[in-house]
Chain A
């Protein structure tokens, strides 16, 4: 029989910690390596201010949908309908704005509500009627695509009014014009200051958390990891912020995306709702017998997904400046791939928001970098497929070894 010493908490060694968290660090390293690779191979085009702005605009909707998809996948489900929701919301927003002339301030919340209802319509069958989500959302994918054709009558509708377009093509104005933007290198001081302040806050909050953890004898990651991670993320963020500041500043979409990422990270790591979703995905029966209303929770993860897909749908419509029946075709696959590259498990219960976001950016940087290199869409698809497989293989390999 073991002695009492076996019940004492031990801090993990650096090696153990690395082994346990190799996936997360590996992902971050992979993103940085991919960025540097394309920066070099494209002779510095990747990190040009215009291109960074483009990168953000092109990927924001994938990232936003990945936030909802991650919750769905962690809960043990899948949602194939998001591409069609994107198209349908684009279509009805166009009808309301262009044909009916409603103001954007009314249309945006209304569309998010409609997206939530579309999610609810699917969540009902999954949660309460126990129909596999793959089937329900496959049906949803077809139904919503069909509805889009009906609404648009098969023709694109556009262009959108200016106040709607700023949702996706606008920039946060410079509140701190120190110098004349026409002559100065830095065109938008606000962007730079905000990024520096955010990095400073992240470091402060991280240190504070570590101190509290030490005080309560909670597990801490080794300081070296914390420092290196902060250094890399901080350096990349400030560099990107600087580049953006020399162009037009922070895109509105980036701000929306940043706020959502922060919100969902908080929800998944610190709230009871997030914890319950993970528990449900890990073992639904045990979660239910622990008093968790698993039906309602499943239902709301789909409602949430619908709302986020609606937001993405509007961003895409605004960016293309027209609603087309073919919008968002195949997006569900990019979104799902982002989650799996980011370390989510297909069997549920495992996955992180940060992982899904990094996964989305890995795909985004690769898309963008390969486009700059002039690689055709055919090879792009092929390479992306292999990256997805490699990332998941890495997971499985690690799990079997560990």
Chain B
């Protein structure tokens, strides 16, 4: 057994009124990949902030042993100095600087303040080779995709002589191909003796690479599982995370499919910025009452673009095609018109596109239908509070009150506020774009339950998701998109991860 590199003992961290961490223990062996899992709010990020010195020594109880010694970090640079490097979920790169500039930001290859660009570029190239990124060191960050940006972050960490690499949800915004590449890289690093901690909600990935898994729940350590001693199933991990056996991750539903609500025909859209490039080609689909319809596809397949171009032309240009609702043509050329036509669109990016984070639950709930709580242009405060309270109870939004600012809510509860907002517009068809991204298992189950309720009420649901099991578990019918085209339509019986991937691969060969 290799020696212990990091041990966190009895860590307790309290914020005013909340105990975020309660006697947490974490032991990481040298040269392993250690996974840290738990629902949102379980304390993973707080624990990592304690470790990195964001919360300085003295602001928490407990001890941190690193490399055999007790350490007290008062700033991030203290921990970085020892080689503890965190890559956060929201990448900390400067978009308009080059890869090389970003890698050596704050740590420039310079003598007396004058940068040696030749050397910096050479060293960048070495680092890029190590992480397998085929880009020139002079390329701007804004010109490369999220997957490659993630690799730049890792290269940046390597430039600092990393001993312990901590990745917070590294694959959350990556497609499967990029995720796989990233995980492979971690495994390679392990072979070279590097230690890493990976925080993730994607249990299948964790199963693939982790040596040990530590599970946190409600600010405490539940257990540490050794992946080499026993075969650990996803259900086993989930049981630890939620504290109970989760027989079914998807609530059951008896579909009662009715008439066709939304029908989109020959939907052609050109790219928002590259204006001569056609992005969507003859997209056709239908959503019926009481039906949950999925759209599967890789990143960049055009799923979000389909939804957004449909919803008041919020994306793209030169949009043509026909949209009907209950068989009658409808005008969806602006967002208010699309809302009037009975459409609602829950975005994939709830923080930037879904919520006014500095505002409270009540104001966010009524934002898309202020007319519903107003007489003329005057808002009826009491009616508004009643509406917001109603949704807060119905969707079980956990908060002090409807006056709590949404920035302080967990991901799952934020998503429920966004759902409340759109439910209050009383739509016929809801387009849900990655409705469970970045939210924990328990909250996911609740979101699925809400989706089922809505379908049972006769609404049509169009769900875009990158998690295939989620689509398979919730949808009655799945469209598969690739390169701006719908390449397959699969019934529940036909749909499987294999059939979806096969449809994508086959369509790729044709072009």
Question: Which chain A residues have a beta carbon within 8 Å of chain B's beta carbons?
Answer: 1-2, 4, 6-7, 9-10, 212-213, 215-219, 270-273, 275-276, 278-279, 282-283, 285-293, 349-350
Contact of B54 with A by CB under 8 A: no
Across the interface, do B367 and A287 meet the contact criterion of CB distance under 8 Å? yes
Across the interface, do A350 and B368 meet the contact criterion of CB distance under 8 Å? no
Q: From residue A367, how far is it (CB to closest CB) to chain B in Å?
A: 32
Across the interface, do B359 and A212 meet the contact criterion of CB distance under 8 Å? no
Residues of B within 8 A of A279 (CB): 356, 359, 363, 367
29 contacts between A and B (CB under 8 A): A1-B442, A4-B396, A6-B398, A7-B392, A7-B398, A9-B400, A9-B402, A10-B401, A212-B382, A213-B381, A216-B385, A219-B403, A270-B378, A270-B379, A271-B377, A271-B378, A272-B370, A282-B357, A283-B352, A283-B356, A283-B357, A283-B358, A285-B352, A286-B353, A286-B354, A289-B314, A291-B335, A291-B425, A349-B356
Across the interface, do B339 and A289 meet the contact criterion of CB distance under 8 Å? no
Which residue of the partner chain B has the closest CB to A273? Answer: B377
Residues of B within 8 A of A9 (CB): 389, 400-402
Across the interface, do B356 and A282 meet the contact criterion of CB distance under 8 Å? yes
Question: Which chain B residues have a beta carbon within 8 Å of chain A's beta carbons?
Answer: 242-243, 311-312, 314, 334-336, 338-339, 345, 347, 352-359, 363, 367-368, 370-371, 374, 377-379, 381-382, 385-386, 389, 392-393, 396-403, 421, 425, 442
**Of residues A10, A271, A282, A287, which shows the largest number of chain B Cβ atoms within 10 Å of its Cβ?**
A282
Across the interface, do A349 and B401 meet the contact criterion of CB distance under 8 Å? no
Across the interface, do B402 and A349 meet the contact criterion of CB distance under 8 Å? no
Across the interface, do A7 and B379 meet the contact criterion of CB distance under 8 Å? no
Residues of A within 8 A of B393 (CB): 7
In the complex, the 3 A-B pairs of residues with the closest C-beta atoms, listed nearest first:
A282-B356, A290-B368, A216-B382
Q: From residue A397, how far is it (CB to closest CB) to chain B in Å?
A: 16
Q: From residue B394, how far is it (CB to closest CB) to chain A in Å?
A: 10
Which residue of the partner chain B has the closest CB to A274? Answer: B379
Residues of B within 8 A of A271 (CB): 374, 377-379
Which residue of the partner chain B has the closest CB to A282? Answer: B356
CA distance A213 to B386 in the complex (A): 11
Q: From residue B278, how far is it (CB to closest CB) to chain A in Å?
A: 24
CA distance A285 to B314 in the complex (A): 10
CA distance A6 to B410 in the complex (A): 13
Which residue of the partner chain A has the closest CB to B445? Answer: A1
Across the interface, do A283 and B355 meet the contact criterion of CB distance under 8 Å? yes
Across the interface, do B401 and A219 meet the contact criterion of CB distance under 8 Å? yes
CA distance A262 to B32 in the complex (A): 66
**Given A279-B367, A289-B345, A293-B336, A10 and B357 touching (CB < 8 A)?**
no
- Of the candidates B242, B338, B354, B358, which one forms a contact with A1 in the assembled complex, judged by CB atoms under 8 Å apart? B242
Known: A7-B393, A282-B356. 15 other contacts (CB 8 A): A1-B243, A10-B401, A213-B381, A216-B381, A271-B379, A272-B379, A278-B356, A279-B356, A283-B358, A285-B353, A286-B354, A286-B355, A287-B367, A289-B335, A289-B345
CA distance A282 to B352 in the complex (A): 10
Q: From residue A226, how far is it (CB to closest CB) to chain B in Å?
A: 16
Which residue of the partner chain A has the closest CB to B382? Answer: A216
Across the interface, do A349 and B358 meet the contact criterion of CB distance under 8 Å? yes
Q: From residue B305, how far is it (CB to closest CB) to chain A in Å?
A: 14
CA distance A116 to B124 in the complex (A): 56
Q: From residue B445, how far is it (CB to closest CB) to chain A in Å?
A: 10
Mostly helix, strand, loop or mixed at chain A's interface? Answer: helix
CA distance A273 to B374 in the complex (A): 11
Q: From residue A35, how far is it (CB to closest CB) to chain B in Å?
A: 32
Q: From residue B246, how far is it (CB to closest CB) to chain A in Å?
A: 12
Residues of B within 8 A of A273 (CB): 377
**Given A272-B371, A349-B358, A291 and B336 touching (CB < 8 A)?**
yes
CA distance A273 to B242 in the complex (A): 44
Residues of B within 8 A of A282 (CB): 356-359
- Of the candidates A2, A276, A291, A292, which one forms a contact with B398 in the assembled complex, judged by CB atoms under 8 Å apart? A2
Q: From residue A276, how far is it (CB to closest CB) to chain B in Å?
A: 7
Which residue of the partner chain A has the closest CB to B346? Answer: A289
Residues of B within 8 A of A1 (CB): 242-243, 442
**Of residues B359, B397, B421, which shows the largest number of chain A Cβ atoms within 10 Å of its Cβ?**
B359
Residues of A within 8 A of B397 (CB): 7
Q: From residue B501, how far is it (CB to closest CB) to chain A in Å?
A: 32
Residues of B within 8 A of A291 (CB): 312, 335-336, 338-339, 368, 425
Q: From residue A400, how far is it (CB to closest CB) to chain B in Å?
A: 14
CA distance A285 to B345 in the complex (A): 13
Q: From residue A263, how far is it (CB to closest CB) to chain B in Å?
A: 13
Q: From residue B158, how far is it (CB to closest CB) to chain A in Å?
A: 33
Residues of A within 8 A of B312 (CB): 291
CA distance A110 to B335 in the complex (A): 36
Residues of B within 8 A of A286 (CB): 352-356, 367
Across the interface, do B386 and A216 meet the contact criterion of CB distance under 8 Å? yes
Residues of A within 8 A of B421 (CB): 290
Residues of A within 8 A of B243 (CB): 1
Across the interface, do B367 and A290 meet the contact criterion of CB distance under 8 Å? yes
Which residue of the partner chain B has the closest CB to A350? Answer: B358
Residues of A within 8 A of B336 (CB): 291, 293
Residues of B within 8 A of A285 (CB): 352-353
Q: From residue B423, how far is it (CB to closest CB) to chain A in Å?
A: 13
Q: From residue B471, how far is it (CB to closest CB) to chain A in Å?
A: 24
Q: From residue A289, how far is it (CB to closest CB) to chain B in Å?
A: 6
Across the interface, do B352 and A7 meet the contact criterion of CB distance under 8 Å? no
Residues of B within 8 A of A288 (CB): 314, 335
CA distance A214 to B208 in the complex (A): 56
Residues of A within 8 A of B425 (CB): 291
Which residue of the partner chain A has the closest CB to B17? Answer: A16
CA distance A279 to B355 in the complex (A): 9
Which residue of the partner chain B has the closest CB to A348? Answer: B358
Residues of A within 8 A of B356 (CB): 278-279, 282-283, 286-287, 349
Residues of A within 8 A of B401 (CB): 9-10, 219
Across the interface, do B374 and A272 meet the contact criterion of CB distance under 8 Å? yes
CA distance A87 to B243 in the complex (A): 70
Q: From residue A214, how far is it (CB to closest CB) to chain B in Å?
A: 11
Which residue of the partner chain A has the closest CB to B385? Answer: A218
Which residue of the partner chain B has the closest CB to A276? Answer: B370
Q: From residue A15, how far is it (CB to closest CB) to chain B in Å?
A: 11
Residues of A within 8 A of B242 (CB): 1
Q: From residue B212, how far is it (CB to closest CB) to chain A in Å?
A: 26
**Given A9-B402, A272-B374, A289 and B353 touching (CB < 8 A)?**
yes
Which residue of the partner chain B has the closest CB to A284? Answer: B356
**Of residues B314, B353, B370, B382, which shows the largest number of chain A Cβ atoms within 10 Å of its Cβ?**
B370
CA distance A85 to B335 in the complex (A): 35
**Given A1-B242, A219-B401, A275 and B358 touching (CB < 8 A)?**
no
Residues of A within 8 A of B385 (CB): 216-218
Residues of A within 8 A of B377 (CB): 271-273
